[in-house]
Each structure stands twice: as C-alpha cells, then as structure tokens.
Amino acid sequence: MGKKEKVVLAYSGGLDTSIIIPWLIENYNYEVIAMAADVGQGEELDLLREKALKTGASKIYIEDLKEEFVTEYIFPTLKAGAVYEGKYLLGTSFARPVIAKRLVEIAKKEGAVAVAHGCTGKGNDQVRFELAVKALAPELKIIAPWRIWDIRSREDAIEYAQKKNIPIPVTKETNYSHDRNLWHLSHEGLDLENPANEPNYDKILKLTVPPEKAPDKPTYVEIGFEQGIPVSLNGEKLNPVDLIMQLNKIGGENGIGIVDLVENRLVGMKSRGVYETPGGAILYAAHRELELLCLDRDTLHYKDLVAQRFAELVYYGQWFTPLREAISAFVDVTQKTVTGTVRLKLYKGNIIPAGCTSPYSLFDEELCTFGRDEVYNQKDAEGFINLFGLPVKVRALMERRNTEESK
C-alpha cells in the first residue's frame, strides 16, 4: 500500500473546519495535517490539538502569527488609511494572507500536494486564501469543500457534525457566523441578514459595550507615532500586539468602534455584518489627525485616492500583487514625517480630537493667525485669485458673447 498524499487544512476548530477533516479523509483518502493560526482570536488554541487529532488529523501545527499579522499587514494598511466602502477597517480581509502564507510554508515543509480551507462559495475569504496560494505556491492543489460537497447550509453542517460526534461551538439556535482576531470581531447571519433589523447589541457584542452603556465620563488616550506606526500609549512604549490589545480594552469600555455595514462582496452580492474594532478605530482616527498636521495638501489628497484602491486590493485578496507592493512603497514615503503624538477623547462611542503635536508639523501659527502678522501680505491673494480664476472668467465671457450674438 502506497504512502498517502498529504493535504494541509487551514483549521480553526469552528463548525466548518471541524467537519472538513473527516470529509477529506472519506473523499480523498489524504493524510490531513491541520494548521491553526493564532492571529489574536483570544481562544485557548491548545484545545484544538486534541480536537483535530480526534477527528482524524495526523498532526496539527499551532502557529503564533500575531506579531507578523500586526507589523506586516495591519500597520501597512493603517499607514495607507485604507477603509473599504468608508466604514470597514478590513479586519477579516488582511488576516487571510498571513494565514495563507504560513499554510503554504507548512505545505512545502510537509511535502503536501494540496491545501484546503473552510470558506464558503458565497464569501470573500475563498478568494483571499486562494489568491495567496496561487501567488506563493501555484503548484499546490486547492480544495474548497463548500464548493463541492452536498452540505448546503450551516444547519446541514451542524447535522453532519452531530452524526460524526464532532463537538462544535454552535447550535442551530446560536448560529451567528463570527470571525475574531486581534484587530476585530465580526458578526453575520440570523437576524442580521435582514438590513431592516436593528442589531441587538446587548446580545451580540463581545469586545465593546453599546455606547449608551459606556461611562458618563470621557477617557483620554495619547498615542505616539513614528513614521506612521503607533509605538506608544499614554507615554509608555509598547510592542505592537500589546498596544492594540490595550486600545481594544480602552475602546471597548467606551463603546468605540461599532460598525453596522451592508457591504459589496467581491463575488457580487451585498451582505450585512456588524463589526467591532475598538482599538483599530482609535488608531485610524489618531493617524488621520497626525497626517492632517504633517502632510502637505497635494500629498494628502492624492494619498486619499490611493487609500481607496489599497482598501479594494486588501478586500479583494490581492495582497501578494505588484500593485499592492507599489502602493505600499508610495505610502511609506509619505509617512517619513508622520511622527508625533495625538491626544483623543473617547466618549460614548465618539472619538474626539484633543490635541496633536509633531516636530514635522506644517502648521504655522504666524501664517494663519487672525491677528496682526508680518509674514503674509494679504494683497498677494488678489493676483493669485485673478490667475486661478482666469479660466472661469474666460468661459463666462464666452458664454455672454454667444448669448448676445444669438439675440
């Protein structure tokens, strides 16, 4: 009997990947190797080892990717100011390439012929995982059970798990779909599938309190940046993971970072989700305040255009592409002077600027003061306006002339 071929499964221990292990064995006769990525989901991942082995995996890798996730994916996206459709801070989107990258590395190490994932055929994550695999290891076969098997719903998946005596973290009554990592927690499904329904925040929120239940007294935070990267909180230097964790706690206590969004999925449909991103919302607000102080007008405005495209690339799963790398290189140049300290007031879901300083500040009080100054000749504005407005004036004269000639 020949040696079995190997497949490496991106394994979370949730409903989908729990049933994929026995399904792969039954349908492909592969040796299944599980890979669980710790991207800050806050769960006891060691419990996954026993579960994966009991359901048929030959071994499991449990990989701590938190620091790589922050420094190589979160911070470049933060520096770009990328927000998808004006609201979504891309929490699920940029976690997928870091997981897929390690999945490929383990597949190569193990000599696997294939990788597998538990993403559905309706979602964005299938694209994100598979584009990363195609970019990093185009020779690997990709197996996506949700596009193949007879299971057609989460209810069907629950029944399959119960039939196989596989313990799962949900029931048919608590069947929200969640994705959690260091950056955010998402909620989809059940009553959220109807955009007319107001979310029951008391029922679904895990990281954040509803704004009306936040303290009546504001909380102040002070964030230090070096070249666009957050490095300190309230005067204390912190490593990237700890900084985000502390901001999640502070933001969550103040009702910060709740987003209810009907978004355009890459596959063509609209979906509705509720996202909790307390620390991320604070960092985006702080970073923006510092850029407003330190970037010149043309660079800031052009970077805003680039940010939208960057967000699309991340959302679409195009992290490992020349365009994303090129935009990141541009962003890094813009961030050379984005160094300083930002103070924010957090109050019942609101993030309110409370002061910003930088050695690279372009704000000149003497230039913009309403008081008397000796550096700005207001008469110069007349010539500027005459030249700037010349095309408008010429067109107006032409229209008047044509109107008079037609009478």
Q: Which residues are catalytic?
A: 16, 96, 125, 177
Q: Does 153 count as an annotated binding residue? A: no
Supply φ then ψ for residue 154, to 5 degrees: -65, -30
Q: Does 177 count as an annotated binding residue? A: yes
Q: Does 232 count as an annotated binding residue? A: no
Q: Does 268 count as an annotated binding residue? A: no
Q: Does 93 count as an annotated binding residue? A: yes
Report CA dihedral (187, 61, 120, 183) to the nearest 10 degrees.
30
Q: Does 15 count as an annotated binding residue? A: yes
Q: Does 17 count as an annotated binding residue? A: yes
Q: Does 30 count as an annotated binding residue? A: no
Cα 8 to chain centroid distance, Å, stands at: 25
Q: Does 201 count as an annotated binding residue? A: no
Q: Does 271 count as an annotated binding residue? A: no
Q: Does 260 count as an annotated binding residue? A: no
The tokens of 28 are what? 């492909």
H helix runs in 139-296, sequence order: 154-163, 201-204, 240-253, 278-294
Q: Which residues of 253-291 are buried (b: 16+ CB within 10 A; e: fewer)?
A: bbbbbbbebebeebeeeebbbbbbbbbbbbbbbbbebbb
Judge contact between 166 and 22, C-beta under 8 A: yes
Q: Does 263 count as an annotated binding residue? A: yes
Q: Does 150 count as an annotated binding residue? A: no
H helix runs in 40-153, sequence order: 46-54, 66-69, 75-80, 95-110, 125-136
Phi-psi region of 79 (alpha: psi -120 to 50; beta: other; left: phi over 0): alpha
Q: Which of 35, 33, 40 is nearest to 13 (CA)?
A: 35
Q: How far apart are CA 50 and CA 55, in angstroms?
A: 9
Which amino acids are annotated as binding site for L-aspartate, given as ranges? Answer: 120, 124-125
Which amino acids are annotated as binding site, given as ranges? Answer: 10-18, 37, 88, 93, 118, 120, 124-125, 128, 177, 186, 263, 275
Which amino acids are annotated as binding site for L-citrulline, given as ranges? Answer: 88, 93, 124, 128, 177, 186, 263, 275
